């Protein structure tokens, strides 16, 4: 079941360096939230903090609260691995496991979670996940073939199928179309639209048109100055952000005057 996310007073550090400062944001369930802003402003760092992926970098930490339907993901008794099971991640470049077939790529998350499946259960899960990623009809006759043999856009949809196979409540996508051609990008955007009825989706994108097309709400991150921490400057419904933003710097970025 898709869940809402409430972030309050979140500061994210890499060692002693404060990378992102004072984020307060409420992300709706069953909606697409886009994060935009210039390179280096902390939007991807913030995205990774939502499932504690930033912690894989030595010295990285966060202070503040990230609440998912009332549960603080940073509470001392919360297992980061369990958080990542609950909140899936799709990365900028497609990353199918190179030695695995399409079939085994879909099941990889379940296998890593030590989830034993009967053959019939595994077959059903693979089909359900690939259908959910709008990939089933394209690969159903070659499930035993390597995942790396697919096109770039198909590989990214395979990674999405792998993410949804573990039944997360939230999907994070870090520039999922930046390495794809326009046709593959359109397929991923259609998929994002289809998935939002079942998932809470947060996407980082540098593509303003993409943010306008796929998202319900948009957050704009920026830096006060070089070397300063990134901050969430504005967060509003996407239509308002792209027609009548509250902040002058938001309008300047969206219109292309900087960034």
What DSSP string describes 68-120? Answer: ETTEETTSTT--HHHHHHHEEEE-SS----TTSBHHHHHHHHHHHTT----HH
Q: Is the pLDDT of residue 2 over 80?
A: no
For residues 157 and 164, give the distance between their C-alpha atoms in angstroms, rounded to a whole number.
Answer: 10
- Tell me what pLDDT residue 1 has: 65
Copy the structure tokens of residue 218. 């948009």
How sure is the predictor about 259, in pLDDT bands with cuts at 50, 70 and 90? low
Give per-residue pLDDT as tens, 171-226: 999 999 998 899 999 999 999 999 999 999 999 999 999 999 999 999 999 998 88
Residue with tokens 């500061």: 11
Give per-residue pLDDT as tens, 17-67: 999 999 999 999 999 999 999 999 999 999 999 999 999 999 999 999 999
- Tell me what pLDDT residue 40 has: 92
Closest Cα to residue 211, out of 233, 189, 183?
A: 189
Domains, the chain, ranges and CATH? 5-93+169-254 (3.40.50.300)
Q: Tell me the percentage of the chain whose pLDDT exceeds 90.
A: 85
- Tell me what pLDDT residue 4 has: 94
Within 8 A by CB and 6+ apart from 259, the residues are 37, 38, 39, 253
For residues 181 and 54, give the distance between their C-alpha atoms in angstroms, rounded to a whole number.
Answer: 28
97 in Cβ contact with 150 (< 8 Å): no
56 in Cβ contact with 81 (< 8 Å): no
- Tell me what pLDDT residue 114 has: 63
Model's pTM, two decimal places?
0.92
What average pLDDT does the segment 123-131 reach? 96
């Amino acid at each position: 079941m898709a869940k809402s996310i409430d972030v309050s007073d979140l500061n994210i550090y890499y060692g002693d360096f404060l990378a992102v400062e004072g984020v307060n944001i409420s992300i709706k369930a069953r909606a697409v939230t886009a994060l935009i802003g210039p390179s280096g402003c902390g939007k991807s760092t913030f995205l990774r903090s939502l499932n504690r992926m930033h912690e894989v970098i030595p010295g990285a930490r966060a202070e503040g609260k990230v609440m998912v339907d009332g549960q603080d993901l940073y509470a001392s008794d919360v297992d980061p691995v369990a958080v990542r099971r609950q909140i899936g991640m799709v990365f900028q470049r497609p990353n199918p496991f190179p030695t695995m077939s399409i079939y085994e790529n879909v099941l990889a998350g379940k296998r890593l979670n030590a989830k034993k499946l009967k053959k019939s259960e595994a077959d059903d899960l693979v089909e359900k996940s690939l259908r959910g990623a709008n990939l089933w009809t394209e690969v159903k006759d070659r499930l035993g073939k390597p995942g790396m043999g697919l096109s770039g856009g198909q590989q990214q949809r395979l990674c999405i199928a792998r993410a949804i196979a573990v039944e997360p409540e939230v999907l994070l996508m870090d520039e999922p179309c930046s390495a794809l051609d326009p046709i593959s990008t359109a397929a991923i955007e259609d998929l994002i639209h289809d998935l939002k009825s079942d998932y809470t989706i947060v996407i980082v994108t540098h593509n303003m048109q993409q943010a306008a097309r796929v998202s319900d709400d948009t957050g704009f991150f920026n830096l006060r100055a070089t070397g300063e921490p990134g901050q969430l400057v504005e967060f509003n419904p996407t239509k308002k952000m792209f027609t009548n933003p509250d902040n002058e710097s938001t309008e300047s970025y969206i219109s292309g005057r900087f960034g």
